[in-house]
Amino acid sequence: MKRKIEKTAGLNMLLVVLGLFLLLSGCGEKNLPGGASTADDARASRSKEKETKLTVMLDWYPNTNHTGLYVALKRGYFAAEGLSVDIVQPGESGVPQAVAAGRADIGFSFQEEVTFARASGLPVVSIAAPLYHNTSAFAALASSGIKTVEDFAGKTYGSWGSPTEEAVLKALLKQYGLPDNSVQIITLGQSDFFATIGRDVDFEWIFYGWDGIEAERRGIELNTIFLKDLNPVFDYYTPLVITNEKLIEASPEVLKKFMRALARGYEEGYASPETSAKVLLEYAPELNETLVVRSQAYLADEDRAAREEGRPYWGYQKESVWSGFSNWMHEAGLIDQPIDVKKAFTNDILPQK
């Protein structure tokens, strides 16, 4: 009887231990809908806690200049680098101001804006040029007869109100032997190009990869004069990816992770333009699909031409482009002194291949 009691007591103790084990195991691995468990959830939560959060500010509404950013987000390239990226619209103060103040870690801008910012003491730095050449152009309806700068004489120009814009136009008029007053300038602000061209004004400044492609889609024939073909100094970088000096100094590895993921996104965007266009449309469904697909194909051609020209890797910036445009802005009276271009941009954050 004693042996039986001892055996029963031992068995009961074993059952208690097993029950506690199963109870604890059940608490640690409680199944959730979809087959997940609290342990999986906890691991995911810890992973999220380890992610570095970055805020990226656009320079305009989402468009094909940003496709690579959205591809990197969609494909998980940022997440693979341990980054959580939040994309925000530009504020009223401007992207360089927001980046300099730390309200955004990274932003999209353009060379003249960064040059103005550096000249005014803002510690912003360009860390990539998604496009190797300036794709902006003066555009007029083909029926206007405007084909060269000389044809600007006696015409009306629609401006968005930038001091650089007017200075570039006047410099080109001088270069081609026309007086400043040979063109009437009307400030249109952010008016729709297609609502004003040929009605309120004779010619305007457009970015061909967007408005030029939209004109093609609408069947509107334009005459275009690309700035880069008029004077090499106007073949400056637009857009740019920028950050601030403090972040470069404090967290260079974080920025390198970001740029590694971003470069993958842009390279994929140019290699598979139609597929990548659809990714952009997922995030910005209000955009016209045909415009986005054709625009992405246009930028893919630009990227291919840059590689064939000898650009070392995506995002690369040349010092000569920065110094040439900075010197021109100084000569035009837009800034008091040329900026120190070595501090205005860097290729060191890029994944050099």
pLDDT above 50: residue 21: no
Binned at pLDDT 50, 70 and 90, residue 93 comes out as: confident
Binned at pLDDT 50, 70 and 90, residue 50 comes out as: confident
Average pLDDT over residues 79-104: 96
Cβ proximity of 174 and 158 under 8 Å: no
Residue-averaged pLDDT of the chain? 89
pLDDT digits (tens, 9 = 90+) for 141-153: 999 999 999 999 9
pLDDT for 87:
99
SS3 203: strand
Cβ proximity of 127 and 345 under 8 Å: yes
State the helix-helix crossing angle for 273-283 and 289-309, rounded to 10 degrees: 130
pLDDT above 60: residue 37: no
pLDDT for 92:
84
- Nearest 5°: CA angle at 319, between 315 and 323? 130
pLDDT for 346:
98
Residue ranges of domains in the chain, CATH in brackets: 48-133+237-344 (3.40.190.10), 139-234 (3.40.190.10)
Average pLDDT over residues 278-300: 99
pLDDT for 31:
36
pLDDT for 353:
61
Q: How far apart are the two ends of the chain, measured CA to CA in Å?
A: 82
Compute CA distances 65 → 6, 25, 204, 299, whole Å: 79, 51, 20, 8
pTM here is 0.86
pLDDT for 4:
34
**211: DSSP letter:** I
Backbone φ and ψ for 255, nearest 5 degrees, come out as -65, -35
Tokens of 340: 């120190």
pLDDT for 182:
97
Q: Within the chain, where are the H helices?
A: 2-28, 38-50, 67-74, 77-80, 95-101, 111-119, 163-175, 193-196, 213-218, 227-230, 245-250, 252-271, 273-283, 289-309, 319-331, 341-344
Average pLDDT over residues 292-315: 98
